[in-house]
Amino acid sequence: MSPGAVLRIDLAAVRRNYRALSERVGAAKVAGVVKADGYGLGAAWIAEALAAEGCSTFFVATADEALALRDTLPEVDIHVFDGVQPGEEGEFVARRIVPVLNSLPMLELWRVHGRGAPADLHIDTGMSRLGLDNKEVATLLAEPDRLVGVALDVVMSHLAVADQPDHPLNAQQLAAFRSVAPRIPARRKSFANSSGVFLGPDFHFDLARTGLALYGANPTPGQPDPMAQVIRLQGKILQLRSVDAGVSVGYGATHRASRASRIATVALGYADGYPLSLSNRGTAFVGETEIPVVGRVSMDLITLDVTDVPPALLAPGQMVDFIGPHNPVDVVAERAGTITYQILTGLGTRLQRDYVS
Ligand SMILES: *Cc1c(COP(=O)(O)O)cnc(C)c1O
């Protein structure tokens, strides 16, 4: 069966991005963040590519993601941001899954049931989401016995505005982390996410936790993109049709042809992760030629106004770029009014996924 829409995932680019980030952090190491199925691109594929590049520490969000990754990679370190819940301790220990302990009660759970296996500790420095808050940190520093019998690997915190280098919260969080982390008896310190890596060496510590940049998004918004593009999203032209001036196109009749027009109908829709918000806003590329999305993006189909494209360049069956060299995923996300993370993790399961290395 020939696919209507294809997502091409360039694993060589993922590996290049890993090397680039590793170079940038110097003596520190780079962990691969492969939560949410590798930001929608396939955690097993991505993690294997990263492991081949020398990555030995991985972070996921949930215990289930960790167990799935353990089946793929028996040897690497796997850490779980959400931590461990009562009843899960035995499985974590048996499968060598490292929980990120996010509160004093979770620390106590691991101290009692973790059998001395490694764990991480998350200190909140300004995200107010997960991690020990200031009061819990003060308690822990006053009562260091709470850590007896716990083998702490990573002490970590997470930046809220790393993609805004001039935001004062970056320096505040750094100061807070510096005042606490050295007093925690952990093997490694970790602070930066993808954008954090580009805030400078003060933010690197021992281990960066990078997701987005590995997947080819720009971790330095507004600056030249230091990463290699990873994905290309193409849809197939199913039909070319002529519409008269004044005729509407698509649901809601949100586009009305102002002149006699040629419309290409493409087999890609919001069910594949192409955002509805790009109705009458998105663009696609045939070769170097940019063509506008007209009408509403529907579940399975998109309509393009190809009136200005030389007819010889177009035929049913041809693939058109929606994300690719001329329309990088960051640009598509911004135009859609969302963030690159959401575009990546929203890419649909119906897409044919071609992994190239
Ligand atoms: C998702 C996540 C990361 C990775 O962030 P990117 O911006 O994708 O590099 C790092 N640390 C924590 C705690 C996260 O939740």
Which atom of ligand 1 is nearest to 213's Cα?
A: 9
Name beta bridge partners: 264: 240, 304
3-state secondary structure the chain: CCCCEEEEEEHHHHHHHHHHHHHHCCCCEEEEECHHHHHCCCHHHHHHHHHHCCCCEEEECCHHHHHHHHHHCCCCEEEECCCCCCCCHHHHHHCCEEEEECCHHHHHHHHHHCCCCEEEEEECCCCCCCCECHHHHHHHHHCHHHHCCCEEEEEECCCCCCCCCCCHHHHHHHHHHHHHHHHCCCCEEECCCHHHHCCCHHHCCCEEEECHHHHCCCCCCCCCCCCCCCEEEEEEEEEEEEECCCCEECHHHCEECCCCEEEEEECCCHHHCCCHHHCCCCEEEECCEEEEECCCCCCCCEEEECCCCCHHHCCCCCEEEEECCCCCHHHHHHHHCCCHHHHHHCCCCCCEEEEEC
Q: Is the CB of 232 under 6 A from ligand 1?
A: no
Residues 341-354: tens digit of each pLDDT: 999 999 999 999 99
Indicate the pTM of the whole model. 0.97
Q: Is the CB of 209 under 6 A from ligand 1?
A: yes
Nearest partner of 298 among 345, 242, 250, 337, judged by Cα? 250
How much is the pLDDT for 1? 81
DSSP 279: T
Question: Quick one: tokens of 350?
Answer: 């119906």
251 is catalytic: yes
Which atom of ligand 1 is nearest to 341's Cα?
A: 8
CA 107 to ligand 1 center in whole angstroms: 22
Which atom of ligand 1 is nearest to 219's Cα?
A: 7
How much is the pLDDT for 2? 86
Q: Is the CB of 81 under 6 A from ligand 1?
A: yes
CA 164 to ligand 1 center in whole angstroms: 15
Mutating to test ligand 1, I would choose from 18, 209, 230, 339 the residue with most ligand atoms within 8 A of its C-beta, which is 209
Query: Which residue type is seen at 29?
Result: K
Please list the ranges in the chain whose pLDDT falls under 50.
Answer: none
Beta carbons of 199 and 219 less than 8 angstroms apart: no
Question: Quick one: tokens of 268?
Answer: 């890609």
- 270's CB contacts (< 8 A; 6+ apart) are 276, 297, 298, 299
Q: Is the CB of 42 under 6 A from ligand 1?
A: no
How much is the pLDDT for 59? 98
CA 1 to ligand 1 center in whole angstroms: 38
Q: What phi and psi values does residue 177 have, to the nearest 5 degrees?
A: -65, -40
Q: Is the CB of 194 under 6 A from ligand 1?
A: yes
How much is the pLDDT for 218? 97
Assign residue 278 a region: left if phi > 0, alpha if psi is -120 to 50, beta otherwise?
alpha
35 is catalytic: yes
How much is the pLDDT for 101? 98
Total residue count of the chain as it appears in this document: 357
How much is the pLDDT for 194? 98
For ligand 1, atom 12, which residue shows the shortest CA distance?
A: 158
How much is the pLDDT for 207? 98
CA 298 to ligand 1 center in whole angstroms: 32
**Separation in Å, CA 142 to CA 85, 124, 242:** 25, 17, 76
Per the residue annotation, which of 18, 35, 189, 236 is the catalytic one?
35
